[in-house]
Structure 1
Amino acid sequence: MIDKIKMYWIFVRNFIVFAITAFLMKLFPKYNVQLRKWAARSSIPTCINEIEIKGNIDEKADIFIANHQNMIDADIIEFLLPNVDLCWVAKKEVENLFLFGNLLSKSGAISIERENKRSLVELIKKADDRLKKGKQFIIFPEGTRNKNPKKLLPFKAGAKLLAEKYNLKVQPLLLLGIDKIITFDPLKVKKGKLTVIVLPTKKPKKKTNWYKELEEEMQKTVDEYYEGK
């Protein structure tokens, strides 16, 4: 009973934090980056009591890519990159999510329709504007939340096209262990340790298999993490 009360308190508390953030972002749009970072600092410690980072995150990378398992992944990334003005690239369906969609739209995120080539063209056009504003991109290349923490979904083309078009330096990140902290069947929150594995940055090389090789490298890292667990 006590665990359930704690779990519901975490959800209610964080909902209030996000609601306040969305409201303030609407009133003070020029402070949207600071507000997003505040929301991340306020929410992440409620469910994660330790973060182990293996490797050094290059905050000067142009585009960050990460695996995607949970609805709090976005806040984790904002928490890990306190000095980076992130431009999120997200599937269009997220725009319709109550509160989260509002937060994304206010932050200047770019939404795309999966498997829609026209949408990818729009991504390239809008990305030029965001780059001129000094933003750095974050994208989940799997395209959606993955229910299997041990097996990455096939990477979508968006990150590849973006990196190659603008010759962006890519910083791969793996968020591991979140499946033990928040579960959905049944819904449960148990404070735990998150492991972040930082792979070396990559420079895209056109007409090579760099993107597929990166996917394989990230999957190998996931395999090594879960081996024996």
Structure 2
Amino acid sequence: MKILNSIISFIKLAAGAVCVFFTGLLCGINPKNELKYRKGCAKFLTSLVANDIIIEGEVDKNANLLIGNHTNNLDIALMETVIPEKLIWVAKKELGEIPVIKYMVTKTDMILVDRSNKRSVLTMMKEIKERTNRGFKVVLFPEGTRNQKNPAKMINWKNGTKAVAEKLNLKVQPFVIINLPYAFKKHPFRIEKQTLKVIFLPSFNPKENPDWFEETKAKMQNILDKEYQKL
């Protein structure tokens, strides 16, 4: 049975890859409808791993910087599914070099950054300001990369997120994703749908609390501890 589930899971992965490929292609051909294509692909990808999605808290319509934990590539698809409005993602510049897939970032107001280049970081700040001035929400993962070691324990946060929030005076709303990486099993590989949860914390202005960065991480870690204890 596990072998059969593995075969089915690899077929699902292939279907997901095809979905991403054609979404990129459509974004390149008709960028005016990119949001429709992105949201459709995100819902399909999320359906591969989610039996149900539980949402706690509410998205603050006035928050313009969302920050959350990052444990899987499908974190992006999940958040695109949960939040109907257009989200702006900050991605590494290499994604803009992948044939066809690059259209999903270059034709959709996404922001590409070369973290090793200081000028690129300054350009990122300017682009984030431009996007938020246009009313979009920007999403950042303070961990800077996927945490593949232990989804219940966040890895160190990068100071870039703190600098963005404070220098651009953005209203911040944290979120916590629960249980998504456990949809992917090993030995043998298979996908087992899970009940996923997204918890939105209250939003705030960083100017009101100089210790917001450390305190927010502690609050999010506390939520992770409690949620994974239940599981």
Give runs of aligned pairs for residues 197-208 of structure 1, distance below 5 A. 197-205=199-207, 208=210
Is there any run of 5+ residues in structure 1 with no aligned partner, and where? none
CA distance in 1, matches of 2:121, 2:208: 17
Give runs of aligned pairs for residues 160-199 of structure 1, distance below 5 A. 160-183=162-185, 187-199=189-201
Secondary structure of 1:227's partner? Answer: helix
1:97 positional shift? 5.4
1:117 positional shift? 4.1
Q: For residues 147-187 of structure 1, what are the alpha-carbon distances to aligned partners after superposition, in whole Å with 9 as ceiling and x for unaligned?
A: 11121111112222222223211111111111211246753
Give the partner amino acid of 2:45.
S
Give runs of aligned pairs for residues 109-148 of structure 1, distance below 5 A. 109-114=110-115, 116-147=117-148, 148=150
CA distance in 2, matches of 1:81, 1:89: 17
How many residue pairs get aligned? The number is 228
Q: Is the 8 A contact 2:89 2:138 kept in 1?
A: yes
Percentage of identical aligned residues = 33
Give 1:62's match in structure 2, choosing from 56, 61, 64.
Answer: 64
CA distance in 1, matches of 2:128, 2:46: 28
Instruction: Specify the alignment match of 1:223 in structure 2.
Output: 225
Give the partner amino acid of 1:177.
N
Say if 1:101 and 1:116 are closer, same or farther in 2 by CA, change over 3 A.
Answer: same
Say if 1:183 and 1:121 are closer, same or farther in 2 by CA, change over 3 A.
Answer: farther
CA distance in 2, matches of 1:57, 1:129: 21
CA distance in 2, matches of 1:59, 1:185: 43
Q: Is the 8 A contact 1:90 1:139 kept in 2?
A: no
Secondary structure of 1:202's partner? Answer: coil
Q: Is the 8 A contact 1:91 1:143 kept in 2?
A: no
Secondary structure of 1:219's partner? Answer: helix
Q: Is the 8 A contact 1:49 1:192 kept in 2?
A: yes
1:194 positional shift? 0.7
1:108 positional shift? 2.0
Give the partner amino acid of 1:103.
M
Say if 1:102 and 1:27 are closer, same or farther in 2 by CA, change over 3 A.
Answer: closer
CA distance in 1, matches of 2:100, 2:215: 36
Say if 1:192 and 1:184 are closer, same or farther in 2 by CA, change over 3 A.
Answer: same
Give the partner amino acid of 1:15.
A
Output the TM-score relative to the length of structure 2. 0.88
For structure 1, which segment, 91-100 or 181-190, has the greater mean C-alpha deviation from structure 2 after superposition? 91-100
Give runs of aligned pairs for residues 91-110 of structure 1, distance below 5 A. 91-96=92-97, 100-110=101-111
CA distance in 1, matches of 2:186, 2:101: 18
CA distance in 2, matches of 1:20, 1:224: 39
Instruction: Specify the alignment match of 2:19 in structure 1.
Output: 17
For structure 1, which segment, 185-194 or 38-47, has the greater mean C-alpha deviation from structure 2 after superposition? 185-194
Instruction: Specify the alignment match of 1:33 in structure 2.
Output: 35
Give runs of aligned pairs for residues 71-82 of structure 1, distance below 5 A. 71-82=73-84
Instruction: Specify the alignment match of 1:48 in structure 2.
Output: 50
Is there any run of 5+ residues in structure 2 with no aligned partner, and where? none
Q: Is the 8 A contact 2:6 2:189 kept in 1?
A: no
